[in-house]
């Protein structure tokens, strides 16, 4: 049989990279031909796969999840494979995967995480995959649940046929009232027609027993008997789920475009259209998408908070499209302090009488102070976590000989000494700086 193979060689140890981004690419038309081939080794030797079951976890770009059994091809030499099903191969986009091994002695091991891509074939341009969840071990349980469901439906149908007024019984009090009404009718009947006290008592007891047989099954079945108000509340409930079943914020795959996310809270890294371009940091993203649309633009508000430094931005989609990111100023921005700059070792040093310091205020970097020991031109003398949106050049005053020095702060936060021009460069002992640099 013809296959399109994606070979993967994994060495099982504790030093393996957390995830491997492979160059494997399948297409949505690769039905029954897209095959992943695993070659497993440990300490330079083939990993035996005796008494072991392999499980492959596939997380598709649209959120679908599959957990499948892999086929052990060679248990001695550590060879296994898996052919993607017709349902899986139609979920185009980046696929995050993990191979796990489960041994019969209850040991288990995560072999490796990796990723590969499924491209959309031209013939499939109009397909829209539905989010799916599939676990091999659950299928037997699914069949049992379906059988129990069918049996329950039949039982309920039988009860409805036997008790025509089932829907009228709603509360325990109603059930008790019916018992008492039946008893009253039974006593009235016996009082009017019974010939002897013993006969009347027997007929009353029989009527009471018949009433209990009718009422007791419904009196105890609290799940069926609900009020019309409760039913109305259920029918009006919302069906859109904001979080997974555990209530925690879902992590979205790397490379997700946050502009395409629907309403809800998310967390992820290496996100497209993040507030800072090419930023691989983790972000918490909250999306509020409205039902209003203008000029084919859906109005929405996005709040993004970078995890490592707690900086927050807000962006909105209006009639003209995305309006850009606006950073939210924090108390730290408004109440700044002066801190001594950490100089790169071996480049220069602080002047003891007026060391070089920095402060952040209203999204601007302020520098003041002095360093001595003139470094070579184009030397990076410090690195800041605060980064301007564009390279900024500024000057400093030379001491020892009248003149000026030129410095630049790059978009990566690097403070570079570019050079100086003084009456006598050899007599310059230090450089004084007093500068305000915008970070927006």
Tens digit of pLDDT for each residue in 370-411?
999 999 999 999 999 889 989 999 999 999 999 999 999 999
Would you state the pLDDT for residue 50? 84
pLDDT band per the 50, 70, 90 thresholds, residue 356: very high
State the Cα–Cα distance between residues 328 and 139, nearest whole angstrom. 50
Percentage of the chain with pLDDT > 70? 83
Q: What is the mean pLDDT of residues 254-279?
A: 93
Write out the residue limits of the CATH 2.60.40.1830 domain(s) in the chain. Answer: 339-438
What digits encode the pLDDT tens for the residues 86-120?
999 999 999 999 999 888 888 888 888 999 999 99
**Is pLDDT at 295 greater than 70 in this prediction?**
yes
Write out the residue limits of the CATH 2.60.40.3350 domain(s) in the chain. Answer: 4-136
DSSP string, 240-271: --SS-TT-PPEEPPTT-BGGG--SEEEEEES-
CATH class of 339-438: mainly beta
Q: What is the mean pLDDT of residues 45-64?
A: 90
What digits encode the pLDDT tens for the residues 150-197?
665 676 666 666 665 545 555 566 667 777 777 787 677 666 655 556
Q: Which two tokens stand for residue 125?
A: 């341009």
Would you state the pLDDT for residue 251? 92
**Is pLDDT at 325 greater than 80 in this prediction?**
yes
Q: What is the mean pLDDT of residues 264-289?
A: 93
Q: Which residues contact 153 (CB under 8 A, 6 or more apart)?
A: none
Q: What is the CA radius of gyration of the chain?
A: 37
205 or 314: which leads in pLDDT: 314
Closest by Cα among 2, 151, 134, 152 to 58: 134
What digits encode the pLDDT tens for the residues 117-145?
999 999 888 777 887 777 766 555 456 55
Would you state the pLDDT for residue 52? 87
Q: Which two tokens stand for residue 346?
A: 């071996």
Q: What CATH fold (topology level) applies to the domain 4-136?
A: Immunoglobulin-like (2.60.40)
Would you state the pLDDT for residue 82? 96
Would you state the pLDDT for residue 162? 63
Would you state the pLDDT for residue 219? 60
Average pLDDT of the chain, as a whole number: 85
Would you state the pLDDT for residue 164? 59
């Amino acid at each position: 049989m013809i296959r399109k193979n994606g070979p993967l060689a994994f060495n099982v140890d504790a030093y393996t990279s957390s995830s491997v981004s492979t160059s494997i690419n399948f297409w949505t038309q690769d039905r029954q031909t897209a095959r992943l081939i695993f070659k497993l080794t440990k300490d330079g030797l083939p990993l035996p796969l005796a008494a072991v079951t392999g499980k492959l976890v596939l997380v598709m770009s649209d959120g679908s999840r599959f957990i499948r059994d892999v086929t052990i091809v060679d248990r001695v030499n550590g060879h296994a494979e898996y052919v993607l099903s017709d349902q899986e191969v139609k979920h185009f986009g980046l696929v995050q995967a993990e191979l796990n091994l489960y041994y019969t002695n209850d040991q288990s091991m995560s072999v490796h995480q990796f990723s590969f891509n499924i491209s959309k074939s031209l013939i499939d341009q109009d397909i829209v995959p539905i989010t799916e969840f599939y676990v091999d071990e659950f299928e037997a349980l699914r069949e049992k649940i379906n059988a129990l469901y069918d049996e329950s439906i039949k039982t309920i149908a039988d009860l409805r046929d036997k008790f025509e007024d089932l829907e009228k019984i709603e509360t325990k009090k109603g059930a008790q009232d019916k018992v008492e009404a039946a008893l009253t009718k039974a006593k009235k009947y016996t009082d009017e027609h019974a010939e002897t006290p013993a006969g009347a008592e027997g007929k009353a007891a029989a009527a009471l027993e018949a009433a209990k047989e009718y009422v007791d099954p419904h009196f105890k079945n609290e799940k069926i008997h609900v009020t019309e108000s409760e039913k109305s509340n259920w029918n009006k409930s919302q069906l859109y789920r904001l979080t997974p079943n555990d209530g925690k914020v879902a992590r979205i795959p790397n490379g997700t475009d946050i502009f395409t996310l629907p309403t809800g809270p998310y967390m992820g890294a290496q996100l497209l259209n993040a507030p800072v371009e090419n930023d691989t940091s983790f972000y918490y993203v909250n999306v509020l998408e409205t039902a209003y649309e203008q000029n084919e633009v859906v109005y929405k508000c996005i709040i993004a908070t970078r995890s490592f430094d707690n900086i927050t931005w807000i962006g909105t989609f209006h009639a003209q499209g995305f309006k850009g990111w606006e950073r939210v100023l924090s108390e730290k921005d408004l109440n700044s302090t002066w801190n001594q700059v950490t100089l790169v070792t071996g480049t220069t040093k602080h002047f003891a009488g007026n060391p070089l310091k920095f402060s952040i205020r209203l999204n601007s970097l302020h520098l003041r102070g002095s360093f001595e020991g003139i470094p070579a031109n184009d030397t990076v003398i410090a690195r800041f976590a605060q980064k301007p949106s564009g390279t900024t050049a500024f000057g400093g005053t030379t001491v020892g000989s009248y003149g000026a020095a030129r410095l630049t702060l790059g978009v990566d936060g690097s403070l570079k000494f570019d050079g100086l021009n003084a009456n006598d460069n050899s007599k310059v002992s230090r450089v004084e700086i007093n500068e305000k640099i915008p970070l927006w």
